[in-house]
A and B are shown apart, each in its own frame.
Chain A
Amino acid sequence: MRTPADLDVIIVGAGHNGLVAACYLARSGLKVLVLERQPYIGGAAVSRRVYQDFTYSNCSYVCSLLRPEIIRTLELPKYGLQVIPYEGGCTMMHGGGHLAVYDNHDALRREIARHSKRDAEAYDRYSRDVMRQCKFIKPLLMREPPDPTSFKPRDLKELLYLGKRFHGLGEARMYDTLRFWTMSAADFLDEYFESEIVKAHFAGSSIIGTALGPRSPGTAYVLLHHYMGDIDDTVGAWGFARGGMGAITKALGASFEASGGTIRRAAPVARILVRRGRASGVALADGEEIHAPLVMSNMDVRRTFLETMDAKDLPDEFVRQVKNFKIRGSSGKLNIALDGLPRFPAIPEGSPSTRGDMHVTDTIEMMERAYDDWKDGRWSRAPYIDMLIPSQIDPTMVPDGKHYMSVFVQYCPYKLADGPWDAAKRKAFGDTVINTIAQHSPNFKDLILHAEIRTPWDIENEVGLTEGNIFQGELTMDQLLFNRPVPGYAQYRAPVRGVYMCGSSTHPGGGVMGAPGANAARAVLRDLRMAH
């Protein structure tokens, strides 16, 4: 047995990616210490009780992207993780009516056909094309992006792999792929659908977490990013983690500790220490120093390099590029405790639509206008919301008969044009969202027992995500693949030897996917010439 002094790796931050990396490293026999600033682990994948016996998924709220190979290798089900698919979804329309989404293909076709017969069948072409792109991208998620400027055999090999995969698509699909990666979601959807409500429903995932509108080029990719998840190999399926999103990080923590790893909670890291040009450990806020030859940061790159490291330890060009990395707060969140199940008159009695993601934005224009508000430095007056009531499916989250509603809100700026966030503005923001929902649910307001309102500013302060950006950096063309987080440093290694990055700022980006953590761990093991 080695003593704690023989630490191999310190991981800063016990978010899902930090824990995934920690698990892989510990399983390879390294001595790993995870330091978490909060008294609880999880980062943005947490379940917390802030009001009575209600459990909230305070930040992230659905499990769709977590890589199955990670769940399997780290034996997460053994440590308590269960993912339960949800059963539908819908967009409610202004002035009544709705578009529902059902699992059953025939039901879905007939539902879309209520709005457009043609769209009901174009949907098959749409899913086919999305699926084709997912198939193309999926294997790239768990790989290190190559550096296109490098002549190293590994980079050339990876480039060749990318090239071959791309070439393997065949000529016509190569063009489709080029277009898909660069189009706006609105233009993309226009090539399939004629009905506004259908387009609006599917455009939702193109803006979630993104400081772009559905008409901005590149948003078709964001749409795709959200489809990349798979539960039990059904691409595009979405689910709840039983017990809330914290169940994922709880299982990761347990798996890590079972492999001999250590987690210290309430241990905020103030500095990453560098000695003679390489990592030597970290200093905590209270001055305590912990030493290890390798330090891996689960924080976003801005926080890691601009706030936790000394600029003099880093190349100027790198610092400049990190400053230029776009991390924009554009999303808010409401967690609401309800005294009962709200009624949505637009949804027929007994429909599974309420047991999935519900929306109220029924045109792309409305979404784009919501984005215009964000550009002007105010929260959307008619925001796009992604609303779920997980307590209908997961009985562990609330006292009997009560419900928990998670409301994700797009767009909400980190910086308001009229000055900093304060309690009154936070409440006004919350009221905007609550009123938006109340327009579609007459008894909603009466059922509210408690509401946790979280602006990007709150998310930054609590979780540590710069500007409260849920992806630790925009998923735009200039910040994907070998450009993520910055050109030349897309392979999880910082410019200082022994410092690694494993957060969503790195390839393949955000969402509770775990791929950055797994890829970063692999990079460490390769550098240590250990089997992985």
Chain B
Amino acid sequence: MTQSLAPHFKQPLLKTPFHERARALSQVDSFIPWAGYTTVDVFTTMEQEYFAIRNATTLYDLTPMVKYRVAGPDALPYLNRLVTRDIEKLGPDRVTYCVWCNDAGHLIDDGTVFRFGASEYRICTAERQIDWLLDSAIGFDVEVAEVTEHIAALAVQGPTSCAVLKALGLQGVEKIKPFEIGYFALGPHRLTVSRTGFTGDLGYELWMEPGSAEAVWDALMEAGRSRGIRAIGSQALNVARIEAGFLLPNVDFVSAEHTIRTGRDRSPLELGLGWLVDFHKGHFTGRRALLNEKIQGPRRQLVGLDIAGNKPAHNSLLYTDDGGKREVGSVTSAIWSPTCKRNIALAIVDAPHFRMGSTVWAEIYLNRELVWERRMSRAQVVERPFFAPERRRMTPPAEF
């Protein structure tokens, strides 16, 4: 485990086991904090890194992702009471994306649940929440413990990622289907590989002991040299995840465990995640509230927008008309999509304007050589994801 030796009042942020490698490649010295770790925002330029995701193979240090080990006789009933999806349907060595809610049916967080073998589970999520997870464990014979610092993780994403992993020597990696887990050895290093990711592209996530981190990084860089491998930071990943339509906590929603003001919590139904809610699997936290909400229909919903022009609608308010008289919501994430060549955004829109095909108007401010201009741009509610290449699902993946 690579931990900083300085006392935490001098150095509040931890370093991941990949930190030294990342620092060596960082050209612009742009680091940001993430879940208590310092991580790279940009290595070289955002554009170069983004196109590597869509064109070649990228490495992204996932270590700060908060990880909890869940085990014990009641692990399954515990998880099924925690999350809205039916974990009973999750086969051994598989992963599922899910969300969990408070009593009011408001989202506490989203994340992935891994099932290793028969009875061990892992929750991976963006924020720490042992407080909620342990309170949820009252009455269950289950052990829940944070293992973030014990597991190093690396996302290997991009159309050539499978080829890189094969070149690395992970035989049979191509057989892993989306949301499946495989186990490999790389010399003395044990690797757990899941076909998961946050880019909406072909990709894998590698989980290992912190002591293996640098060796695995080096081997990957070597194996991927001819396939354009490149380390990426969070900025490039953010563009890819918006294209893929994925949500980011504290950007697209605020955890109901953190909201101060009333009415800022969001339910999975409002976030367009109704498909993750299984009302037939038995009780889970928030079920009664969500049933009620389902009957009444959500008052607002998170949707994808396709916006006229090419200026990203950062923080834009949305209106029903181009005069800007009636507000109907606001944009949570916005980018110019380099691949789709579309001006896209995720936004929370009030009923009934969130219906597919509806038109709203986004108020965009443009800074043109220090002169601000306000522009009302037509925005249409469109399908998410904005970009979903076939290669992300193909098994075995094509040789790109």
A contacts B directly in the complex (CB < 8 Å)? yes
A169 touches B (CB below 8 Å): yes
Q: How far is the CA of A426 from the CA of B8 in the complex (A)?
A: 41
A106 and B36 contact, Cβ closer than 8 Å, known pairs A118-B134, A125-B257, A172-B104: yes
B131 touches A (CB below 8 Å): yes
Interface mask (A3-47 → B, CB under 8 Å = 1, otherwise 0): 000000000000000000000000000000000000000000000
Which DSSP category, helix, strand, loop or mixed, fits chain B's interface? loop
A118 and B131 contact, Cβ closer than 8 Å, known pairs A106-B33, A170-B262, A173-B262: yes
User: Residues of B within 8 Å of A, CB-based: how many?
Assistant: 23
Interface mask (A346-369 → B, CB under 8 Å = 1, otherwise 0): 001011110000000000000000
Q: Which of B9-17, B333-341, B360-368 contacts A (4 or more CB under 8 A)?
A: B9-17
A91 smallest CB distance to B (angstroms): 15
Q: How far is the CA of A131 from the CA of B129 in the complex (A)?
A: 19
Interface mask (A209-253 → B, CB under 8 Å = 1, otherwise 0): 000000000000000000000000000000000000000000000
Pick from B8, B10, B259, B261 the residue with the most CB of A within 10 Å. Answer: B8
A102 and B12 contact, Cβ closer than 8 Å, known pairs A121-B130, A348-B7: yes
Residues 126 to 149 of chain A near chain B (Cβ within 8 Å): 128, 131-132, 135
Measured between beta carbons, the chain A residues less than 8 angstroms from B128 are: 109, 121
A122 touches B (CB below 8 Å): yes
Measured between beta carbons, the chain B residues less than 8 angstroms from A73 are: none
Interface mask (B125-153 → A, CB under 8 Å = 1, otherwise 0): 00011110010000000000010000000
Number of A-B contacts (CB under 8 A): 62
Contact indicator B9/A102 (Cβ below 8 Å) = yes
Measured between beta carbons, the chain B residues less than 8 angstroms from A124 are: 131, 257-258
Pick from A107, A135, A168, A348 the residue with the most CB of B within 10 Å. Answer: A107
Pick from A106, A122, A132 the residue with the most CB of B within 10 Å. Answer: A106
Measured between beta carbons, the chain B residues less than 8 angstroms from A132 are: 260
Pick the residue among A100, A106, A118, A128 that contacts B257 (CB under 8 A): A128
Q: How far is the CA of A122 from the CA of B7 in the complex (A)?
A: 22
Contact indicator B33/A128 (Cβ below 8 Å) = no
Interface mask (A41-70 → B, CB under 8 Å = 1, otherwise 0): 000000000000000000000000000000
Q: How far is the CA of A117 from the CA of B87 in the complex (A)?
A: 27
- Of chain A, the residue at the smallest CB distance from B129 is A121
- Of chain A, the residue at the smallest CB distance from B102 is A172
Contact indicator B9/A351 (Cβ below 8 Å) = yes
Contact indicator A125/B131 (Cβ below 8 Å) = yes
Measured between beta carbons, the chain B residues less than 8 angstroms from A352 are: 9
Q: How far is the CA of A173 from the CA of B104 in the complex (A)?
A: 12
Pick the residue among B10, B103, B260 that contacts A128 (CB under 8 A): B260
- Of chain A, the residue at the smallest CB distance from B37 is A106
A-B contact pairs, 19 of them (CB 8 A): A100-B9, A102-B8, A104-B12, A106-B8, A106-B13, A110-B8, A121-B129, A121-B130, A125-B257, A131-B260, A135-B261, A168-B262, A170-B263, A172-B104, A348-B9, A350-B9, A351-B7, A352-B9, A353-B9
